[in-house]
Structure 1
Amino acid sequence: MKTKLGFIGLGEMGFPMAKNLVKKGFPITVYDLDHEPLKQLKAMGAETASGPDAVAENSDLVMVIVRTTDQVRKVLFDDNGVVSADTTPSAVAVMSTISPVDAGEMAALAKEKNIEFLDAPVSGARERAETGKLTIMVGGERNAFQKFLPVFDTLGSKIVHVGGVGAGEYAKLINNMFLLVHMCAAYEAVSLAECAGMDPSEVFDIVKSGTGQSWVIDNWETVHGWKKNYFEGGTLDLIYKDIDITLSIGEKKKIPLYLSSLSKQLGRY
């Protein structure tokens, strides 16, 4: 019998992820403030709920992918939140990118209600969310990870248990450190190529088979689109949010993160 799922957050990433779970036959209850994705998923066979607590009462595992830490807290711990429900799930998986410190605090609160907590942020952008090819980095108890691995396997092609609570968030933040630094390097490379009278796309074709190859180069049109079509709450804005979390951790732990700090400043120009 397949795990009864709850899914909260049907935006850029959450909607295609929830669709894939419906297509794979998981019994799923969904919730979002936007009614349009609810209508579409209901037409596909999903149940819809009036709030996070109603999602919890129908689920063994509740998956949350909203934009900010405050939104995660509200979804889980408000009076109508998942943890406050009369009937709670056995586990929650926070798939948003939040501070590992906040993840630890949330896990402690969830444990008071005997709810397992997994932090399971994702990487791969919307294209890979749609094809079920995300990379998912999971922190939390290994037994809980193993129990719900078939669910994660539906959403991703690389699923890794990286350690205890918060480890998944650390892994995602490290990934985005590389991403933003590589983006800044690519824009500088474009400037140099154009200065030399070269076509940047031809230079990138060379780099793809050289030692400078990276995901940013392979997906340049997508990456450049993030910057060209920047908007609050969009992909690049969320990357900047993640870098802010990273820099805050570096400051608290006295770790010099010079390139991360510089790349955030450069990335805005």
Structure 2
Amino acid sequence: MSQATNTIPFSRPTTPTPPGLQIGFVGLGSMGYFMARNLAKGRPADAAPLLVYNRTASKAERLVQEVGAGSAKMAVSLEQLVNACDVVVTNLANDVVVELYYGEFAKALKAAPPTKPKIFVEASTVYPTVISTIHKVITSFPNCHLVGSPVFGRPPMADAAKLIVVLSGDYHSRKQIAHLLVPAMGRKAMDLGDDVTKAHTLKLIGNSMILGMMELVGEVFTLGQKSGVGQKPVLDLIKDLMPAPPLVKYAEIMASDSFDGSDGFSMDGGIKDANHMRRLANDLNAPAPMIDIAHQHMLTTRALHGAQKAAGMSKYDVVDWSALIAGSRAAAGLDPFDSGDYRVELEN
């Protein structure tokens, strides 16, 4: 069985990708920049240069400079990008921004209704009802489809094109998008079916797994430090008993006090996602106490970090969401961000 068959749950589309396919990408944040860059490099050979838009134009300029004008170009406006593109991928900060941008897309589509198929691919982490809302907006225009396509992976995985891409929505559209994004942007595609909200629902469930895992790791490291066993034996045990890459990565971040969120996932973003997870649990009457505890520790961590920043004592301007261990440490009477002699020095 070929690698493509293993990683993409769809056969190749019977209709070949039309020559000159124009793909657009909106949102060049810590994840979006790498996703767009890899898509620019890995797009179909006969596709046009990727058209990119970002509110801060310097990021789009940087991307074009990195990949070259033959692989990417800047859009001067959202209207230009929507009108020009056959496929529009969005990776934005939060629900409010997603709804705002799709409102702008709707204005462009109303002014110039498309005469050929146009697929919008929403890759942000948002609440599933947001997907329902923008799906109604987009599909109210002729020839327009929406595919829900959030991704799993930290920025380094986005950089290496190793993301897991989850897809739901119109069958033919998600089939085309799966082959467009994998392997250019990710290592695997998961198919969640025709209900466009299901991919983003799985995204919240998956993030709940990761957040619950981090909460548990933070608690056992705190126990290790308070007991005098230390963090290194606990980290070694995690690697031996539960060697899942995400678990090990976050455990290493915590044990080494490496909480810089500028190249990871910020605490504010983590709290936003945790609120979505708790809302999903509430809406479905499915209690998730581990997520509630993790959320409390994240709020504590944000407060502690904010106080340190105000006093000019913070090592980092932005902390990673894995810094939630600070909540456990503080509750145990320990320094929240510095494990001192118990800090684990990682090998490069």
1:167 and 2:212 are equivalent in the alignment: no
Q: Give the Cα separation in 2 of the matches to 1:54 and 1:225.
A: 46
* Secondary structure in structure 1 of the residue aligned to 2:287: coil
The residue type paired with residue 91 of structure 1 is I
Whole-angstrom distance in 2 between the partners of 1:83 and 1:57: 7
Identity of aligned residues (%): 21
The answer to whether the Cα contact below 8 Å between 1:91 and 1:117 also exists between their aligned partners in 2 is yes
TM-score (norm 2): 0.70
Tell which deviates more after alignment, 111-120 or 33-42.
Answer: 33-42
2:92 aligns to what?
A: 66
TM-superposed deviation, 1:222: 4.1
Alignment partner, residue 158 of structure 1: 188
CA contact (8 A) 1:78 1:84 kept: no
Determine if the alignment matches structure 1 residue 122 to structure 2 residue 151: yes
Q: Distance in 1 between matches of 2:107 and 2:254?
A: 35
Cα offset, 1:84, TM superposition: 4.3
Instruction: Find the partner of 2:168 among 130, 139, 152.
Output: 139
Q: Using the alignment, how far apart are the partners of 2:140 and 2:78 within structure 1?
A: 18
Q: Do the aligned residues in 1 keep the contact of 2:42 with 2:185 (CA within 8 Å)?
A: no
Query: Aligned partners of 1:212 and 1:78: how far apart in 2?
Result: 45
Aligned-residue Cα RMSD (Å) equals 2.5
Determine the C-alpha separation between the residues in 2 that align with 1:62 and 1:23: 16
Name the stretch that deviates more: 125-134 or 190-199.
190-199
Counterpart CA distance in 1 for 2:257 and 2:98 is 24
Whole-angstrom distance in 2 between the partners of 1:155 and 1:255: 33
Q: Which residue of 2 aligns with 1:196?
A: 227
What is the SS of the residue equivalent to 1:209?
A: helix
Report if the CA contact (8 A) 1:176-1:239 is conserved.
Answer: no
Report Cα offsets for 1:152-180 as digits up to 9, x if no partner: 10111021111220111011101111111
CA deviation after TM superposition for structure 1 residue 8, in Å: 0.3
Query: What is the identity, as a one-letter code, of the residue corresponding to 2:23?
Result: L
Given that residues 6 and 62 in structure 1 are in contact (C-alpha distance below 8 angstroms), is that contact kept between their aligned partners in structure 2?
Answer: yes
> How far did 1:40 drift?
2.0
Task: Tell me the amino acid that sits aligned with residue 187 of structure 2.
Answer: S
Among candidates 117, 120, 129, match of residue 92 of structure 1? 120
Look up the match of 2:27: 9
Conservation of the 8 A alpha-carbon contact between 2:138 and 2:146: yes
Distance in structure 2 (CA, Å) of the matches to 1:223 and 1:196: 17
Secondary structure (helix, strand or coil) at the match of 1:228 reads coil
SS of aligned partner of 1:106: helix
Please tell me whether residue 52 in structure 1 is matched to residue 78 in structure 2. Answer: yes
> Quick check: 1:142–1:161 contact (8 Å CA) kept in 2?
no
Show the counterpart of 1:32.
Answer: 54
**Bigger Rg, which one:** 2
Q: Deviations over 1:96-134 (max 9, x none)?
A: 011111101211111111311111111111001111000
For structure 1, which runs of at least 5 residues remain unmatched after alignment?
none
Q: Secondary structure at the match of 2:28?
A: coil
2:309 is matched with which residue? none
Counting matched residue pairs gives 268
Between stretches 80-89 and 96-105, larger displacement belongs to 80-89
Query: Which residue, 28, 37, 40 being the options, matches 1:19?
Result: 37
TM-score (structure 1 length as normaliser): 0.90
**Structure 2: how far apart are the matches of 1:33 and 1:148?**
25
Tell me: CA distance 1:132–1:79, structure 2 relative to 1, closer, same or farther (3 Å).
closer
**Structure 1 match to 2:288:** 257
